[in-house]
Structure 1
Amino acid sequence: MNGINKNRRGRVAHQRLRSRLDAAMAVAGVMVTVCSIQPAYAKRVPQQDMTPYVVRADDSLYTLADRYMQSPADWRLLRAINHVANPRRLQVNAHLSMPTSRLRQTLLTARVVAVRGSVDKLGTAGAPPMPVSAGTLLMEGDEISTGRDAFVSMLLPDGSHVVLPSSSQIRIGRLRTTLLTGAVDRQFDLKQGEVATDVTPFKNPRDSFRVITPSVVAGVRGTRFRVNYLATQDATTVEVLAGKIGVDGAGPDGAANRTSAPQPIQGGAQTLVLAGYGNLTRTGDAAGASVRLLDPPEIADPGKLQNAPQVAFDLTPVDGAGAYRTEIATDADFLDLLRDQRTTGLHAAFDNIPDGNYFVRVSATDTHGIDGLPQVFTFSRHLDTTNAAATPIEGNGYAFRWHVDGEANGARYRFILSSHADLSAPLIDLLDVSGGEMSVAHLSPGKYYWTIVVDTFENGRLLSIPSEIRSFTQTR
């Protein structure tokens, strides 16, 4: 009996020991599991672009997140990325990695410096468009549209210029700076027409400047270039006048309609376009090959005074040109555009140009629609308002009459009559003719040429404005 009880006690003790061992194993298993879990601040973080930061005195993860990150709670993200044990205590001169996508950014503004014609800022959610004038401030998200023969120039905070010619539409996709690095991010989404840029060379390696159309993503690092979205061809032309840019195909879904920066076409090689070259890219295709820009045309007699009702220019032909472009501006950089005309012929004419001094820029366009290199000339515009006329009188003579402008201060009138079309070897050349009328009698048979020259002072210098050279034939 004692042996039986003894065996029972042994089995119970064995069971108790086994239970204790199982419990110990279970606890050990939990301990192993707990030890295999890393602290929250050491968890795996997805690969992303990082901005380096060198720790300064009095820095902590809390102050860094509050100062440079999008949210004060981002200290946890900084702790996880950098495996920081104590977020309050950082070693001075230690190197931290700051996730670029979470860095705090400040919105910038672009200032309108010149406007011609009808330029509107398009409203959202059915709101009516608002007219844009010089001095208007534009910011990220604003969409600008120019009407026919309308132009607008914008000045960015770094001194870069963006010019939108007529019949164009653009959205400011991004215009901001990163607080920690000072990097400036600029993106313009061209939805219609053309944009010309003069980008100040970058001072910060993280600066970016992009022009996006449904066909291309054009990224630059300080250059002068033009981008033109040809809606009828569903293609984009790029022309580089200075520096160089990288052009990627933007894909078939229309990059200009995206709210975030588009990605280049998968597998598509970037085309590097240098100064003096351009390319054509169709929507959905990889970036087109680089082609040399056409040389600019010349203007026949560019220095002649533009005094006719129309301001007109005759261009010289350029091999390979399918069209020509003539632009007029009040400044040499063409930030204040007045007119922009494309012609298939060599003659360009413009109505309603006020008197003044101007710049004209001419270029040839190849058969693919890529504009060539430009050439700029100066010219003066003074409309002939003399309304001169000649009437036969008795005695084989003519009476010559012209309008005297009473508002022209100190204007003097000169009468020239010659038997040569270029008015050389004049038969009569009279200065200070007053009254707006004079007669000449006893003219021999023959053909005669005459004009009225208005001498006036402008900005302290003498300006001679000839009227149209007229002619008549004396038959008896």
Structure 2
Amino acid sequence: MTRLSRGLGISWLGVTALFVTHAHALSVLPSDEAQDLIAYKVKSGDTLLELSRKYFVSSAGISQVARINLLEDADRITVGQTLSIPRQSVKHWSSVARVMGMSCASSYNPEQGSTKLLVGTPLHEGALIKVPAGCHTALLLEDSSIMRLPSGAVLKLSTLRKNALEKAPEVRLELANGRVELDVMKERSPLTPFEIRTPRSVMGVRGTQFRVGFSPETQSSLVEVTEGIVKTQGNADLESVDLTQGMGVTIDPSGKASDPEALLPPPRYASFSKSASHPTEVSVQLQHMDNAGSFQADIATTANLSGLRRTQQWATPEFRIDRLINQAMFYQVAAVSKNGLLGSPALMAFCAAPASTEQARCSAVFDTPLADGSSIAFTLNRQNGALYQEVIRTHNLTALNGKFAVKDLRPGYYNWSLSYPLAKASADQAGVHQSGAFELIALPTAAQ
């Protein structure tokens, strides 16, 4: 089966809709009508008249709120009461998406013509982003959600705005080609729309991480859930399928969904060997996985995968590294099942150990292109038995040319988090918040 999320145009399943909720949520995403309502908890001193003056586009919002909430007396609302307020009746203004990473020059169309993107470029509602073949672009939203656009993606920011009653921006995207990878802020209200449309379907996102693909060659589709809950239905299915974390389905050309199956677990490093003909070349072997049909990796020079990134596929659990240096190279590796589903990823960082692996000390680079002189809060922990031991904790880290390096790291498992405000940003801009984990693997480079 053709790998479905390999830079192919996503045509969106032929399903009616795809709904997503938080992992802990008990019900599915609200209907389109419910998503057009804002939940507001009444505070001391609130009246509908005062709310109208502060937040509504016009006084007509008072009668709308009274009708929707079945208020017998529009002058009487109680503290703690939750009101449903139509989104279109609330004042709004433009939100901003900023370019936070790119591997080569992309372009966008703000209204007419074409303009090159640069790191830090602010993008507004209506912008059309075009990512050239072989490139990669990452965008940061005001609530710290991150969108990653791989090679060939064409994405329009059809709605990008904030209103006076919600913290997170309303986001509606139109994907015309390729794919988009989302890491959406988990604290978003389930009623604040984050929606992606393609020519054939619509998807609502609620603090979840997942992948969707469509292969024009086979006319088959897939859904893979790495975090959260996805509710999906093929157009030939009588009932929907609830997919939880670590589950996936394929949908055949007739629109029939397969039985849900568990995604393959993260691959694990097994061993390495050196090339007899190329002294600098190393071959890495992964542990055998019975149901794996192939393997795929996103390769980057930084631990947070924000900058330069490329993708490779292998038919067997083995891949080649041309040259190892003291600075770690990051491989986000996942196994692909025989049904074409991409499994849970493992982030492996490979570096050179000139003497022995026990004495190896390597460096890891982190990408912070929007820090621009801001102080960076950074935490790094190393696993020690069943616990993690703190290696670094600072609130005053500074970056050079949008990057910083952590040196003298021993091989092992690490987790990390970083955050920093954006220079010259609005007061309600959440800034950058990222976290992750990796296994640092040092391989000897000296002759055996």
TM-score normalised by length of structure 2: 0.58
Q: 2:93 aligns with which of 103, 106, 111?
A: 106
Deviations, residues 140-170 of structure 1 (Å, cap 9, x unaligned): 3322222233111222222222212223232
Deviations, residues 10-68 of structure 1 (Å, cap 9, x unaligned): xxxxxxxxxxxxxxxxxxxxxxxxxxxxxxxxxxxxx986556648658564x544532
Is 1:336 matched with 2:323?
no
Distance 2:282 2:154 in 1: 28
Is 1:135 matched with 2:106?
no
Distance 1:308 1:131 in 2: 41
1:296–1:183 distance in 2 versus 1, CA, 3 Å:
closer
Measured on the aligned residues, the alpha-carbon RMSD in Å equals 4.4
1:152–1:461 distance in 2 versus 1, CA, 3 Å:
closer
One-letter identity of the residue aligned with 2:165: L
Q: 1:70 aligns with which of 49, 57, 61?
A: 57
Q: 1:356 aligns to what?
A: 327
Q: 1:292 aligns to what?
A: 262
Distance 2:139 2:272 in 1: 30
Is 1:190 matched with 2:172?
no
C-alpha deviation, 1:114, in angstroms? 1.1
Higher RCO (C-alpha under 8 Å, 6+ residues apart): 2
Contact 1:294 1:365 in 2 (8 A): yes
Q: 2:150 aligns to what?
A: 165
Is 1:322 matched with 2:293?
yes
Is 1:271 matched with 2:263?
no
1:351–1:162 distance in 2 versus 1, CA, 3 Å:
farther
5 Å matches for 1:444-463? Answer: none
Distance 1:174 1:283 in 2: 32
Contact 1:108 1:176 in 2 (8 A): yes
5 Å matches for 1:8-23? Answer: none
Q: How many residues in Structure 1 have an aligned counterpart in Structure 2?
A: 328
For structure 1, the residue ranges without an aligned partner over 5 or more in a row are 1-46, 252-264, 383-457, 470-476
Q: 2:340 aligns to what?
A: 369
SS at match of 1:67: helix
Deviations, residues 424-469 of structure 1 (Å, cap 9, x unaligned): xxxxxxxxxxxxxxxxxxxxxxxxxxxxxxxxxx968999985778
SS at match of 2:226: strand
Larger relative helix fraction: 1
SS at match of 2:328: strand
Distance 2:333 2:443 in 1: 27
One-letter identity of the residue aligned with 2:249: N
C-alpha deviation, 1:325, in angstroms? 0.7
Contact 2:218 2:253 in 1 (8 A): no
Contact 2:110 2:126 in 1 (8 A): no
Contact 2:102 2:136 in 1 (8 A): yes
Distance 2:195 2:245 in 1: 17
Contact 1:50 1:97 in 2 (8 A): yes
Contact 2:325 2:352 in 1 (8 A): yes
Distance 1:239 1:274 in 2: 9
One-letter identity of the residue aligned with 1:331: T
Contact 2:110 2:124 in 1 (8 A): no
Distance 2:136 2:143 in 1: 22
Q: Percent identity?
A: 26
TM-score normalised by length of structure 1: 0.55
Contact 2:106 2:116 in 1 (8 A): yes
One-letter identity of the residue aligned with 1:170: L
One-letter identity of the residue aligned with 1:131: K
Contact 2:134 2:152 in 1 (8 A): yes
One-letter identity of the residue aligned with 1:292: A
Q: If you compute each CA radius of gyration, which structure gives the higher value, 1 or 2?
A: 1
C-alpha deviation, 1:377, in angstroms? 1.0
C-alpha deviation, 1:354, in angstroms? 9.1
5 Å matches for 1:144-155? Answer: 144-155=129-140
Q: 1:116 aligns to what?
A: 103
